[in-house]
């Protein structure tokens, strides 16, 4: 079994760039899905992947950046 352990601060370092990466991936998949040379079965998979990325992006936008601590 493989166990991964998060390094302190790693999450904070990765999160700001996540939406940029997702947007880039969505843009590339959208272009590929609109290409006439892309087979129908691949277009279907791309549509599913785009939908999944949009769901991830919506979730991330709800939780990042975190609300300031009340004090």
For 31-45, what is each residue's pLDDT tens digit? 999 999 999 999 999
β strands within 1-71, DSSP E: none
pLDDT at 15: 83
pLDDT exceeds 60 at position 25:
yes
Q: CB under 8 Å, gap of 24 or more: what pairs does 52-60 form?
A: 53/22, 53/25, 53/26, 53/29, 54/26, 56/22, 57/19, 57/22, 57/23, 57/26, 60/15, 60/18, 60/19, 60/22
How far is CA 18 from each of CA 11, 23, 55, 57, rounded to the nearest angstrom? 10, 9, 13, 8
**pLDDT tier at 11, thresholds 50, 70, 90:** confident
| Residue predicted with more confidence, 59 or 5 | 59
């Amino acid at each position: 079994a493989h166990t991964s352990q998060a390094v302190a601060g790693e999450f904070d370092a990765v999160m700001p760039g996540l939406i940029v990466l997702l947007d880039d991936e969505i843009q590339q998949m959208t272009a590929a899905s609109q290409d006439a040379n892309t087979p129908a079965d691949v277009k279907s998979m791309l549509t599913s992947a785009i939908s999944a990325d949009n769901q991830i992006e919506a979730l991330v936008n709800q939780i990042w950046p975190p609300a300031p601590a009340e004090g």
